């Protein structure tokens, strides 16, 4: 089985976020970037298929040279090869078209993408990929087993879970639950040294549609002051007379 894991390079959630050029561009200065968490769950599941079933695992990222440390981490975790599409990931449709071009040439059986990235939370790429490639698709995937060309997946739905069975080739949108957080792999020194010798191929982007653009960023409104009350009666009075919500 040949697997491609789609990796997004995203800011660490502890990073302080700022914008430049009149709040039209994200300021990357001082920001630590990491593998998108949903993608990391998918990468770890791909490692399970590699260890248990002898699968070959490649990763692909749309981004400039600055994303390569994140890609090297994925190689250190255990991916066999990496492909970087040398373009700024402007929007979900553009990214999906770039990845689809790589997948068409790679004869992959299973495409694992995160349900969404934690920076823009678009949640578009896996579904668009499946449509462009005319492959089966399972989103919000929290469990995946593959036997031959048959895949059995569990996905989250409103109010519960759904078990589905389909065939390869397959695209999934994975998330927490695909593996547990305790199963996530931390690169060891041997993995880091081996990653330096693994192939990281850079390819130029194909002509693709950029359907959207960022116009302006706004930070969330700062939290207001908090007023402490000593009794239920005081709370009701404030809600009625001051907040005017009852």
Q: What are the backbone angles phi and psi of residue 142, rounded to the nearest 5°?
A: -120, 0
Is the pLDDT confidence value at 240 over 90? no
* Residue 126 confidence (pLDDT): 96
CB 33 within 8 A of CB 10: yes
CB 62 within 8 A of CB 173: no
CB 60 within 8 A of CB 6: yes
Across 203-214, average pLDDT: 88
CB 140 within 8 A of CB 199: no
pTM assigned to the model: 0.88
- The angle subtended at Cα 239 by Cα 237 and Cα 245, nearest 5°, is 140
- Per the prediction, the chain carries an average pLDDT of 93
Percent of the chain with pLDDT over 90: 74
Task: Name the pLDDT band for 202 (thresholds 50, 70, 90).
Answer: very high
d(CA 192, CA 209): 36
Q: What is the pLDDT of residues 12-34, one digit of tens each?
A: 988 888 999 999 988 988 899 99
Q: What is the pLDDT of residues 67-112, one digit of tens each?
A: 999 999 999 999 999 999 999 998 999 999 999 999 998 999 999 9
The count of C-alpha atoms lying within 13 angstroms of the C-alpha of 39, restricted to the half-sphere facing its C-beta, is 29
Across 145-169, average pLDDT: 96
d(CA 37, CA 124): 16
d(CA 129, CA 42): 16
User: In angstroms, what CA-CA distances link 178 with 18, 161, 208?
Assistant: 32, 13, 31
């Amino acid at each position: 089985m040949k697997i491609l894991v789609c990796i997004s390079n995203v800011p660490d959630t502890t990073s302080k976020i700022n914008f430049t050029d009149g709040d039209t561009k994200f300021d990357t200065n001082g920001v630590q970037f990491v593998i998108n968490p949903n993608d990391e769950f998918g990468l770890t599941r791909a490692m399970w298929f590699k260890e248990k079933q002898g699968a070959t695992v490649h990763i692909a990222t749309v981004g400039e040279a600055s994303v390569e440390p994140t890609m090297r981490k994925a190689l250190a975790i255990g991916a066999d090869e990496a492909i970087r599409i040398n373009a700024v990931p402007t929007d979900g449709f553009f990214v999906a078209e770039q990845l689809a071009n790589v997948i068409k040439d790679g004869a992959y059986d299973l495409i694992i993408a995160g349900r969404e990235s934690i920076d823009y939370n678009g949640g578009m790429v896996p579904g668009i990929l499946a449509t462009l490639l005319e492959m089966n698709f399972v989103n919000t995937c929290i469990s995946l087993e593959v036997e031959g060309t048959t895949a059995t997946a569990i996905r989250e739905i409103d109010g519960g879970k759904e078990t589905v069975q389909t065939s390869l080739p397959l695209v999934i949108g994975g998330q927490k639950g695909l593996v547990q957080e305790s199963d996530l792999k931390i690169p060891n020194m041997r993995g880091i040294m081996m990653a330096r010798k693994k192939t990281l191929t850079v390819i130029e982007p194909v002509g693709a549609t950029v359907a959207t653009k960022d116009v302006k960023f706004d930070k969330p409104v700062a939290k207001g002051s908090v007023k402490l009350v000593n009794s239920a009666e005081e709370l009701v009075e404030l809600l009625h007379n001051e907040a005017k919500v009852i």
